[in-house]
Amino acid sequence: MTFGILALVMTVACAVLGARFIFFGGSVLKEWGLEPSTGALILFRRMGLMYLGLALMFFLGRTAAASEIRSALCLVMGGTSMLLACLGLSEFLARRASAGIFRSVVAEAVLGSAFVWMGWVG
């Protein structure tokens, strides 16, 4: 897998997740076994905009040549994604989220692993 392909995958994933958080945040919360509240929906809309920003960043940077900055970006995104996966698993084990969170946990772990690998190898 090349950085360009990984960046495009991340572009699509962040764009879809961002739009889902902005427009359908309540359904995500219900999927995770949580009750949608005004505060949670406000936070989801704000996070959705952050994900759209990440989508744009990865789209614009998809042709970046191998460099220390690109490697650092990959390692930071990989670490962040892996920590999100761990947090999701922790919330499930503490019974604060339902099994619906596993789809997110798996996606975060896979993307995190791909970014860590790209940061070290690519």
Predicted confidence (pLDDT) per residue in 52-95, tens digit: 999 999 999 999 999 999 999 999 999 999 999 999 999 999 99
Of the pLDDT bands very low, low, confident and very high (cuts 50, 70, 90), residue 97 is very high
Backbone angles phi and psi of 118, in degrees to 5? -65, -35
- Sorted by sequence, the CB contacts under 8 Å of residue 118 that are 6+ apart come out as 1, 3, 6, 74, 78
Backbone angles phi and psi of 121, in degrees to 5? -90, -45
Question: HSE-up of 104 (CA within 13 Å, CB side)?
Answer: 24
Q: Would you list the domain boundaries of the chain?
A: 3-121
Q: Decide: pTM greater than 0.85.
A: yes
